[in-house]
Amino acid sequence: MGVTMAGGKIASSHTTVIEAAVPSIKALNCHSNVDKICLGLIRNKRRKSSSNPYCKVWGIDNGVKVVVCGNATIQVFYIYGQAKYILSLLEDIWGSENMIFEGEISNNKI
């Protein structure tokens, strides 16, 4: 089940967050280097896994794209702001063993 979150820096089009992403969203919502959080669609995984939740991160213009994979669901969200601080905060929350960097993360994006 998801958790409803709204207000602060969270865009209002979607307000449901999967349980695996709640700690990240709460921390990012309070961080001064984050301008906006856009929550995306939630999908079911094709098969449930017993592995630890993890997140994948892509560098985008003005922020990062994050995909959080829980045990049964996957959610995409976009975080706008100072990307190098956002990435550092995510790494503190998830730990380097549970983060996967996808695509190119260059100095001009992060």
Nearest to 63 by CA among 95, 31, 94, 92: 31
pLDDT computed for residue 2 by the predictor: 65
pLDDT computed for residue 12 by the predictor: 64
From the first residue on, what is the mean pLDDT of each consecutive set of 10 residues in the chain (110 residues)?
A: 64 80 90 90 78 88 91 91 88 88 57
Nearest to 109 by CA among 65, 56, 64: 64
Q: Which residue has the tokens 């207000």?
A: 7
pLDDT computed for residue 48 by the predictor: 66
pLDDT computed for residue 84 by the predictor: 84
CA dist 91 and 49 (Å) reads: 23
pLDDT computed for residue 107 by the predictor: 47
